[in-house]
Structures are given as C-alpha cells and as structure tokens.
C-alpha cells in the first residue's frame, strides 16, 4: 500500500473501511443557522417553513415564512425528507428567487420507511417526525383489503407512531366488520361519507365541500379533524379510496387533484410521488378555513407499501403493553403465532374471567393477524 499525503482530492472521496478520513479543515459551525420544517421536496429543492421574527402573519401559519433551500455539499449523500427539522444558513429571506442552504438535520423522533418496489429498488425514509399514521381505506369501491391495512398498522407501530383508521365511503357499505377487526387492537377508527344532498347541490355551502369535488358529511370531516389536531399525521391510501377528497375537505387550500383512475393510462391523476406537508386549519366553516393552524397533514401520493422485513416481534409487542407483559412468560424464541407451542398468550385467554374472554380473544386474534402480516405478502 503506497503512502501519500492527503490532498484536496481526498476531501470529497468516500470514507475508507475504517471510517471517515480526518478532515483537513474544521467544518464551519453555522452558529447563525435558523431552524426550518421541511414541508415539500421537489428535485433537489426543499420547501421550508421558518419562524419569522419580523412578521406577525405569513404564507402558511402566522409568524412563519416559506423559504426555498438546497442541501449543503456535506449533506449530498444524506436524505432530507418531509417532516425533517433542519438548520439553514444563507439567504433565508424567503424572497423571490432566494435560496438558502440546509447544513444540518436535527435528530428525528420517528421515521416512516417505505419498502423497495418496481419503481425504486431502495428502501427509503418517507417522512420524519410524524406522530400518527392515518390509513385511509374505502368501505367499497375499491373493496377494503385487510392485509394492506395490517401491514400499515405494523409499519406505524414499528416506527413509533399511533394509528388512525379512516374508513371512507360509508354511504356505500357498513364499517362494522372492519371496526370489529381493528378496535380490539386499540386502533382508533373514524368514518366519513358522502353528503346525502351531494347529488342535488353543486354549491359551495358546506364544510365538507371539496375543491370542485364531492361533498362529504361535514360532521364526519370535523371528527377526523379533531383527531388530527395538534399532531403530525401521515395519510396513506390506495388510489381511489378518497384520500384527496378528504384532504381537500380538511385543507381546502390544498386543492389535491381528485378523480377516478385514468382508463387509458391506468394511472391516477397524480403524477407526483413526493410527500407534501399541509398546515391543518383548526376549522373550516362555509367552505373557508380559519387562518389558525394546529397540526400537519402529510400526503404521500407515491407510497403504496411498507417494508416489514426489518420489523422484530419484540418491537411490535411494545405497542401492546398487556400482551407484552404476558409474553414475558413465553418459552424462549416463541413466535406467539396461533401454532406456537406453550405460548403464554393462549394461557392469558384461558385464565381470563368469563366476561372478559371474548374481548381478549378478539385482541389476540387481531394481534396474531398483524404478526403474520409481517411475513405474508399483500399482493
């Protein structure tokens, strides 16, 4: 192995097997950096919301301004995603044509990952720092697929997020069966539906009004809003479930494109695949939102599946305190599945008081379905 001095060309070379090469220059501290929230990503340009000390009102939420930024050189290989809190320097005026520089990503409280698929061979972080995964599922058209819901639930719990199951199109089918499958897990369920008067009216007179789209029952939309309030929520759902319709009702300014799948191309109208964060108005009355915001709704147009191969049973169990405690008594290496010998979770059912047994049994059955979905395919 030849020995030579470190020169300028080494500065940008990859780290060696032993780790990073010592830097020849001390990296600047960027003590003048301000913090921004990443609300959108588009071809190397990041949309940030930055606190504005000089301004009482702003473009998005009050006292905040929108700044466009790119990553600093040293972050070239680092992925910055919607929901990230970042430190920015440079031109943070937010003025027309201004471009700031992201120099640091703050520590993430949660990371939601998407699995590799046909369009992208890498597992990627989709959203950072989200509190809640909202699984939007139609009760009909298209038919709900519990395998898909289970996989989303597992991905959320593994990411340290809570789950809200939002069942749409209740005007077409009853939510009872799905409620029975998910409420035993402690998953919160909300139901939305088309307003009965929607066929006759095309006026903009209701809080459920969506931009040029279908009118949802306003109370059902407000119930969803209540559960999103103050939280960072990621909405996922298959094409056609009514996710855009719901987002438009919650955040009318979003104007998400709605409609059916294109017959010719077989694709939805959305061509964008990047996530975007939308500030959630605290209320929408007479079709207009208030200018007070409390929470974030993150739409993920391109996300259809989550990688679960990395999910460990013990990690998933942590989302279920009671089951986790019982499972401490299981034999070493117990899979906790229905065919696992001497699984303590079975004894837990046996030992339960008569009146609690059905609830426990339903909870265990649902939990085992989640466990099985880790290895099963959703195709």
Ligand X SMILES: Nc1nc2c(ncn2[C@@H]2O[C@H](COP(=O)(O)OP(=O)(O)OP(=O)(O)O)[C@@H](O)[C@H]2O)c(=O)[nH]1
- Residue list, annotated binding site for GTP: 168-171, 237-245
Interface with Zn ion includes 343 (CB under 5 A)? yes
Interface with ligand X includes 213 (CB under 6 A)? yes
Q: Which is nearer to Zn ion, 151 or 336 (CB)?
A: 336
Interface with Zn ion includes 372 (CB under 5 A)? no
The rounded radius of gyration (Å) of the Cα atoms in the chain is 24
Q: Are 40 and 274 in contact (CB under 8 A)?
A: yes
Of ligand X, Zn ion, none, which one sits near residue 258, judging by CB under 5 to 8 A according to partner kind?
ligand X
Stretch that binds Zn ion, among 153-161, 242-250, 304-312, 341-349 (CB under 5 A): 341-349
Of Zn ion, ligand X, none, which one sits near residue 221, judging by CB under 5 to 8 A according to partner kind?
none
Of ligand X, Zn ion, none, which one sits near residue 336, judging by CB under 5 to 8 A according to partner kind?
Zn ion
Interface with ligand X includes 209 (CB under 6 A)? no
CB of 378 to Zn ion, least distance (A): 24
User: What distance in Å separates the CA atoms of residue 130 and residue 112, rounded to the nearest whole number?
Assistant: 8
Structural tokens at position 264: 């010719």
If you search the block for the tokens 């959305």, which residue do you land on?
Answer: 270
User: What distance in Å separates the CA atoms of residue 18 and residue 188, rounded to the nearest whole number?
Assistant: 48
SS3 294: strand
Peptide bond into 142 cis (omega under 30): yes
Stretch that binds ligand X, among 164-172, 275-283, 333-341, 357-365 (CB under 6 A): 164-172
User: What distance in Å separates the CA atoms of residue 231 and residue 80, rounded to the nearest whole number?
Assistant: 20
SS3 letters for 71-122? ECHHHCCCCCCECCEEEEEECCCCCCCCCEEEEEECCCCCEEEECCECCECC
Interface with ligand X includes 171 (CB under 6 A)? yes
Structural tokens at position 186: 């402690």
Q: What residues contact 233, with CB distance under 8 A and at least 6 apart?
A: 130, 131, 132, 133, 134, 164, 295, 296, 297, 298
Stretch that binds ligand X, among 81-89, 108-116, 167-175, 325-333 (CB under 6 A): 167-175
Contact positions with Zn ion (CB under 5 A) in 299-338: 330, 334, 336
Interface with ligand X includes 169 (CB under 6 A)? yes
Of ligand X, Zn ion, none, which one sits near residue 169, judging by CB under 5 to 8 A according to partner kind?
ligand X
Contact positions with ligand X (CB under 6 A) in 17-76: none
Interface with ligand X includes 137 (CB under 6 A)? no
Q: Are 337 and 371 in contact (CB under 8 A)?
A: yes
Q: Which is nearer to Zn ion, 109 or 335 (CB)?
A: 335
Burial zone of 274 (CB within 10 Å; 0-12 exposed, 13-18 middle, 19+ buried): middle
Q: Which is nearer to ligand X, 39 or 244 (CB)?
A: 244
Contact positions with ligand X (CB under 6 A) in 291-350: none
Strand partners, 191: 167
Structural tokens at position 373: 């979905």
Stretch that binds Zn ion, among 45-53, 152-160, 340-348, 357-365 (CB under 5 A): 340-348
Interface with ligand X includes 237 (CB under 6 A)? yes
Of ligand X, Zn ion, none, which one sits near residue 343, judging by CB under 5 to 8 A according to partner kind?
Zn ion
Interface with ligand X includes 243 (CB under 6 A)? yes
Of 89, 103, 95, 82, which Cα lies nearest the Cα of 33? Answer: 89
Angstrom distances, CA of residue 221 to CA of 141, 207, 227: 20, 8, 10
Of ligand X, Zn ion, none, which one sits near residue 255, judging by CB under 5 to 8 A according to partner kind?
none
Of ligand X, Zn ion, none, which one sits near residue 144, judging by CB under 5 to 8 A according to partner kind?
none
Q: Which is nearer to Zn ion, 334 or 372 (CB)?
A: 334
Residues comprising the chain, all counted: 379
Interface with ligand X includes 371 (CB under 6 A)? no
Q: Which residues are near Zn ion by CB under 5 A? A: 330, 334, 336, 343
Q: Which residues are near ligand X by CB under 6 A? A: 168-169, 171-172, 192-194, 213-214, 216, 237, 239-245, 258-260, 268-270
């Amino acid at each position: 192995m030849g020995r030579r001095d470190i020169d300028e060309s080494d500065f940008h070379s990859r780290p060696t097997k032993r780790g990073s090469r010592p830097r020849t220059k001390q990296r600047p501290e960027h003590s003048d950096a301000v913090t921004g929230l990443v609300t959108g990503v588009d071809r190397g340009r990041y949309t940030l919301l930055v606190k504005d000390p000089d301004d009482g009102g702003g473009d998005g939420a009050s006292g905040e301004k929108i700044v466009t930024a790119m990553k600093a050189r040293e972050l070239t290989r680092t992925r910055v995603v919607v929901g990230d809190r970042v430190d920015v320097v440079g031109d943070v005026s937010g003025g027309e044509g201004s471009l700031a520089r992201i120099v640091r990503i703050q520590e993430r409280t949660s990371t939601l990952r998407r699995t590799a698929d046909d369009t992208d061979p890498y597992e990627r972080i989709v959203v950072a720092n989200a509190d809640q995964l909202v699984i939007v599922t139609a009760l009909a058209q298209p038919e709900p697929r519990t395998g898909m819901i289970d996989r989303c639930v597992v991905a959320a719990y593994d990411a340290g997020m809570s789950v809200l199951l939002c069942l749409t199109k209740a005007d077409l089918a009853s939510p009872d069966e799905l409620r029975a499958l998910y409420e035993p897990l402690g998953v919160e369920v909300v139901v939305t539906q088309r307003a009965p008067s929607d066929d006759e009216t095309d006026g903009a007179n209701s809080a459920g009004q969506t931009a040029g789209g279908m009118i949802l029952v306003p109370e059902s939309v407000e119930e969803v809003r209540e559960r999103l309030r103050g939280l960072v929520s990621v909405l996922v759902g298959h094409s056609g479930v009514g996710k855009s319709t719901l987002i438009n009702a919650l955040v009318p300014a979003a104007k998400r494109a709605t409609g059916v799948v294109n017959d010719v191309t077989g694709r939805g109208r959305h061509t964008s695949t990047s996530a975007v964060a939308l500030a959630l108005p605290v209320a929408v009355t007479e079709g207009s939102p208030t200018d007070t915001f409390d929470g974030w709704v993150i739409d993920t147009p391109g996300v259809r599946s989550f990688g679960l191969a990395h999910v460990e049973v013990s990690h998933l169990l942590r989302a279920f305190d009671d089951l986790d405690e019982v499972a401490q008594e299981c034999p070493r290496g117990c899979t906790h599945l229905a065919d696992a010998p001497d699984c303590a979770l079975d004894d837990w059912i046996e030992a339960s008081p008569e009146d609690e047994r059905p609830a426990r049994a339903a909870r265990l059955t649902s939990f085992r379905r989640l466990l099985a979905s880790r290895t099963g395919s959703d195709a």
